[in-house]
Amino acid sequence: MSGRAASETPAAISPAPTALLDDDPTRGVLTGDDPTGDDLAEDDGRPEGVTVARRARWTAAGAGVLLTLAGCAAALLRLADASSARVPAAYAAGAAVCACAAVLGQRGRTRRALWLLVAGVMMMALGDQPG
């Protein structure tokens, strides 16, 4: 009733399809020679990974600085009309965590910086909840 074949019947073994067998060993191998001249990204002499890593570092650092400034501004605005000191403290703590994320992002620890950015924004958002 399970839909499986009985255990006494042998499983049918089918031959490999001929379309998957390829006699050309160079197929799919990148040689770096482009007869059309479309490899303009490699003209600077740097590997592609260096550019991507640099962009990730700058993105993490920039987002950290931006969220740090936003948290500091929100802390100062909430400090002016705060009935309790909990809300400005939450914004300031979240801004401090985002500043740490900016430093880590600039040093190349982009994964940890991303998680710290998420934690800092969560601290700011949860600290502003009523209750």
Q: CA 92 to CA 78: how far, in whole Å?
A: 10
Q: Which of 75, 52, 70, 77 is nearest to 117 (CA)?
A: 70
Q: Which letter, b or e, does each residue of 105-116 get, where b requires 16 or more Cβ atoms within 10 Å of its Cβ?
A: bbeebbeebbeb
Q: Report the share of the chain in percent with pLDDT over 70.
A: 61
Q: Say what the pTM is.
A: 0.62
Per-residue pLDDT tens over the stretch 20-63? 555 555 555 555 555 554 444 555 666 676 788 899 999 999 99
Per-residue pLDDT tens over the stretch 75-106? 999 888 867 888 899 999 999 999 999 999 99
Return phi, psi of residue 4, to 5°: -85, 155
The whole-number pLDDT of residue 52 equals: 87
Average pLDDT taken over every residue of the chain: 78
